[in-house]
Structure 1
Amino acid sequence: MKTGGSTMRNKGIILLMAGMVSCGVQKNVTSEEGKEKGKQIGEKERMQLKFSFAEATHRKIFGDLDRAIILYQECLKIDPENTASLYELSNIYNYLGEKELAVQYAEKAFENERDNKWYGMHLAGLYHQEGKIEKAVDVYREMTDRNPKEMDIKYNLATLYVSNGEYRDALTIFEEMEKSMGINEMVNMAKYNIYEKEGKHHLAVNELKKLISVFPEEVKYRGLLAELYDEMGEDEKAVMAYQDLFKIDPEHGLAQMSVSSYYRRKGEYKKSLEWFEMAVRNPEIELDDKIQAMLVYVNQQDVLEEYNQELEDIIEKLAGEYPEEINAMALAADYYIKTKNAEKARLYLEEMTEINPESFGVWEQWIFMENETGNFIEMVRVAEEAIKIFPEVPNLYLYISIGLFQIEEYDRMVEYAETGTKYSNNNDNIRKELYALIGEGYHALGEDEKSDRAFEEALKINPEDIMVLNNYAYYLSERGNELEKALEMSWKCLEIEPENYTYLDTYAWILYKMGKTEEAVKYIRKSFEAGGQNDPEILEHYGDILYEMGETDEAINVWKRSVENGNTKEEIKNKIDAGEGRNK
């Protein structure tokens, strides 16, 4: 309620300003306006008009806009040409968003008093809001003709020309204003901006030099001049402009940032970072500006690698100067994640979650880091802490399940994944991933029926998920179950990725299980050609197929290659022994 009251009070203030303008012109409205239009208003009507107008303005100030509208309209019943009431009604309707009525009343007010610049500027402003630039320009042109010495009217007309892309007309007016007023920040900066848009850098330089000659202590013009010279490729002039700037204010934060940016653009990162370090220590510069500038360095891998120590020093200074600021910690955490320093990143991430445990993004960043570094036990621990705060967020159940799968805690993994499916009804992708993990978990636990059901649920959500299709098909083939179905799923994978050596191997293995060794050997060789020639499992499969085809010597050689490439299963050793025994 307090907020609402404050808002209403602000409404009153906004409308009061308009009322002050209208009250200033009201004296001539009720008496002289009537004479001008040939109307005769009696004394009683004049008093009623005065009372109604005052009461309407009072109501407007205190936010009773409906009653104010009624009272202003009563004024118009007494005197339909009452310009002040027309103007006030236009202001109220504009505030209420009823633009068409606002324009109608403003047009009538300006029609009645074309010499009143406030009415004209109000009407032009409404036209501008509605995108009727030409109409706004026409109003300002008329007002300029009627009020040739009014600089604010000229300035508004020129800015309208700029917004409409009519730069020549705008410059003509700005030149006239400069002749009349002398060098002026608004006018000369407007000219500078036009020349910049047009790519006329030398003319833009002239405007900045004019401003510097009149305001020699104002560093922002020198900063703009230095940046402009840099943009023009005039490096020496840019450096001189910065030097002049620091003679005036050696601790100027914005200038320090500008110089740092200048050297960075030139590729002189050592100098750039030296200046940036000064800027980091400068209390004039907002933290967010420092962070945004720092991100430019952090996001360039080559700079990150070559200037690692310098960047780390600055990061630590920044975090040290803002010990309670989450954004400074987030920058440090991001930096250490990028530089593969998980230990330091973890310190900042932990501190951030302690300060603001409700920030899900920080928890997620921490979980991702642990996953990327292969620290799955820590990944599970962090996600389990997060799930205490966000018990219904399905992502967390997925992250925990992935971590538990990696450390082969399948019982816990299945439990978390199944719970996660209850919270993932609105996210098909996460729901599908959870069912796929349930399928993997039950497969590892030897509960094939439950595994199959989970894979089926995953495929209901996305029948084209090739990882689920491939794994499910392979597990069926290993058991010798539903081989036709397995072959169909495996073929789907090859239709999507025909050169994937894992999928080619699965398809070959299913054919082998079906007794189609001739076809199987063709696809296992394609798997080799696609890059699987050193995969120990694919080599074992190839040996099995060759052995079934009676090519014992070649099978033994391939099995031995499987062992050389990391196959440590006891089964493969038995196969080699059996093959060598067959040859004897």
Structure 2
Amino acid sequence: MRVFLTVISIAGILITGACSGPKKTLRHQAVIKDPAVLEQRADSLFFAAQRSKMLGDFRTAITQYSDYLRLNKNNPTVYYELARLFMEVQNPGYSLGFARRAAAMDPDNHWFQITLADAFAVNEQFDSAATVFDKLTARYPENEDYLYNKAMFLAKANKPASALAVFSQLEKKTGVVEEVIYQKQRLLLKMSQVDAAAAEIRKLIDNNPQELRYYFLLAEVYDANDRGAEATAIYQEVLRKDPDNARALLGLASYARKNNDKPGYWAFLTRAFANPSYSIDEKVAYVYPYLQMMQLDSTKVEEGLELTSLIVKAHPKDAKAYALRGDMYSQADMLDSAQQNYTQALSLDSSRFSVWYQLMWIYSRKEDPNALLALSKTVTDKFPREFMGYYFKGVASFLLQQYPAAIGALNKALETGNGEKKFMADVQSLLGDAYHATGQHPQSDSSYEKALLLRPDDPLVLNNYSYYLSLRGENLDHAAEMSKRSLELEPESPTYMDTYAWILFRQDKFEDARHWIEKALQFPEAQQNPNVLEHYGDILFNLKDVTKAVEYWQKAKDKGATSVGLVRKIAEKKYIQ
């Protein structure tokens, strides 16, 4: 296939003042006038600049060529080299100035003319660049690249009709060439001439009827212009040549879906997904949106699971197939099936941390701390720099009441330094709980404070921190503020009501405490909670309602309360702190 090259080469960031830098001075030297010596010095600078350019030291090369021009202003090659170098350092204005000078000094040098066109292009003067190639084309009529570049610059100058005429002129020289036809159809579409663009692509198909890419290019043109029926006819043409072509099947599925033909959509789609030659990565990309759609439309669950089953059937040895099906089951809250598929994915490819993470998350959701702890130990051994492995190890250890191990794992998670902010707050919160459980209260308070710096309005942290302060009878005003804030965030939480009531009790605000504990007891879960019942009894006793206090202490005992002194409270009918 013939290939045409554009000559524009545009690099990174604009660097201005590229000529700046130390300059040699002759102020304290004798002025040399010997032509031979000057010529020798100029040659030395020229070759030094060439060497600097080859080494990629463009700034030094610019300085050396500039110094050369102080000795010899009549060498067009140096202006040409400076024009190219200023393009490299992204100083388009300087580049154009030097390119003009080189082209003017030696107008017959086609390289200088090409560089002038380049310089016009980087200054977005596309008309002028096209004019340069027009002159080159007149001088070198057999050079197809010059004609191609002229057309491209006319297109960039927003002259589609002129560019199209030049491409047609080029086509007469080259015959049907993909790049030329592609540019012609692109220009025709820009001019809203869809049928003419389609006719151009038909030339490619007629020239090479076995190249399916051309059929898809034509179908895309029809699709993009709301001519779905014609696109469908092209996809059917493809299927006559390749009955299992996934791209054509997907095109037909898309058309069926747009026309509310669900059976047709599903028939074409499942045929495509059953094809092993259809890339699994493309299948995954197609199915992945189902994970979001499933949350809004329950009917998508069955579709998503069927598609992932087809992927597994077509790619039974690819871990990505099982990982995707695991994601689908996880999203559908089918945790056992999700676990099975993630495990299968890991048996095929154990290198992907994301799958290990999902499996740990499944064990966490299943509230299986033993399995979670065993798995997280494997993960931290295999991926020692991954934050989430230590996080889940800490969670599992905490749930198993292995508090020192939880503290160690959670601090290790913090040491990795690569956790997301939301999880860092969770780590600090859980550390606060674990330190409290081991009686390390200063460390517990510090961890809660750090958690609240990361997430100031986390109601759970506010509640736990304030409750543990109240149990110790420390900093009760701060505890009351935090507890009140947790209720503002979750006003219907009986747990947070109980905490606030207990803090008020510790502040000797018994009537206020009674108000909040009775509010909590309006919720069935609070009525079954032995701690809430015991707290109510404590509050009632301090309000001089001893009979009712003993009644609620007994209820707390019946519900399984095991606090120190409860039996004595009941027996002695008095509050024991």
Alignment correspondent of 1:281: 276
RMSD: 5.0
Shift of 1:281: 1.7
Check if 1:473 corresponds to 2:466: yes
Percent identity between matched residues is 23
Check if 1:245 corresponds to 2:245: no
Shift of 1:178: 2.1
Partner of 1:147, secondary structure, is helix
Counterparts in 2 of 1:194 and 1:52: CA distance versus 1, 3 Å: same
Alignment correspondent of 1:503: 496
Check if 1:173 corresponds to 2:173: no
Partner of 2:288, secondary structure, is helix
Counterparts in 2 of 1:360 and 1:308: CA distance versus 1, 3 Å: closer
Aligned pairs for 1:493-572 (under 5 A) are 493-494=486-487, 500-524=493-517, 532=523, 534-535=525-526, 536-537=528-529, 540=533, 544=537, 547-548=540-541, 568-570=559-561
Check if 1:119 corresponds to 2:112: yes
How far apart, CA to CA, are the structure 2 residues paired with 1:57 and 1:417? 59
Aligned pairs for 1:301-380 (under 5 A) are 301=294, 302=298, 305-307=301-303, 310-320=306-316, 322=318, 327=320, 330-339=323-332, 340=334, 341-351=337-347, 354=350, 356=351, 359-380=352-373
How far apart, CA to CA, are the structure 1 residues paired with 2:82 and 2:168? 37
Question: Which of residues 369, 372, 378 is equivalent to 1:385?
Answer: 378
Aligned pairs for 1:56-95 (under 5 A) are 80-84=73-77, 86-91=79-84, 94-95=87-88
Shift of 1:439: 3.1
Counterparts in 2 of 1:333 and 1:558: CA distance versus 1, 3 Å: same
Counterparts in 2 of 1:86 and 1:207: CA distance versus 1, 3 Å: same
- Bigger proportion of residues as helix: 1
Check if 1:458 corresponds to 2:448: yes
Alignment correspondent of 1:9: none
How far apart, CA to CA, are the structure 1 residues paired with 2:206 and 2:450? 74
Shift of 1:402: 1.0
Report the residue type matching 1:453 in the other structure: Q
Question: Contact (CA 8 Å) 1:223, 1:258: kept in 2 or not?
Answer: no
Alignment correspondent of 1:107: 100
Question: Contact (CA 8 Å) 1:470, 1:490: kept in 2 or not?
Answer: yes
Question: Contact (CA 8 Å) 1:120, 1:140: kept in 2 or not?
Answer: no
Partner of 2:367, secondary structure, is coil
Counterparts in 2 of 1:163 and 1:539: CA distance versus 1, 3 Å: farther
Q: Deviations over 1:402-449 (max 9, x none)?
A: 11222333343234335555555998866654443233234445x2xx
Q: Which runs of 5+ in 1 are unaligned?
A: 1-14, 16-43
Number of equivalenced pairs: 513
Shift of 1:174: 0.6
Shift of 1:161: 5.2
Shift of 1:480: 4.6
Report the residue type matching 1:276 in the other structure: A
Counterparts in 2 of 1:466 and 1:253: CA distance versus 1, 3 Å: closer
Partner of 1:462, secondary structure, is helix
How far apart, CA to CA, are the structure 2 residues paired with 1:65 and 1:551? 90
Aligned pairs for 1:32-43 (under 5 A) are none
Partner of 1:247, secondary structure, is helix
Question: Contact (CA 8 Å) 2:505, 2:539: kept in 1 or not?
Answer: no
Shift of 1:521: 3.8
Alignment correspondent of 1:6: none
Counterparts in 2 of 1:461 and 1:546: CA distance versus 1, 3 Å: closer
Question: Contact (CA 8 Å) 1:521, 1:542: kept in 2 or not?
Answer: no
Q: Deviations over 1:311-359 (max 9, x none)?
A: 243222344354xxx65564454345445313422323432664x3xx5
Check if 1:236 corresponds to 2:229: yes
How far apart, CA to CA, are the structure 2 residues paired with 1:177 and 1:393? 56
Report the more deviating stretch, 538-547 or 549-558. Answer: 549-558
Check if 1:271 corresponds to 2:257: no
Question: Contact (CA 8 Å) 1:69, 1:89: kept in 2 or not?
Answer: yes
Counterparts in 2 of 1:518 and 1:191: CA distance versus 1, 3 Å: farther
Q: Deviations over 1:260-299 (max 9, x none)?
A: 5555666554223333235x422xx555334323434565
Shift of 1:569: 1.9
Counterparts in 2 of 1:557 and 1:115: CA distance versus 1, 3 Å: farther
How far apart, CA to CA, are the structure 1 residues paired with 2:422 and 2:240? 60
Question: Which of residues 112, 123, 137 is equivalent to 1:147?
Answer: 137
Shift of 1:111: 2.4
How far apart, CA to CA, are the structure 1 residues paired with 2:561 and 2:64? 98
Alignment correspondent of 1:402: 395
Partner of 2:362, secondary structure, is helix
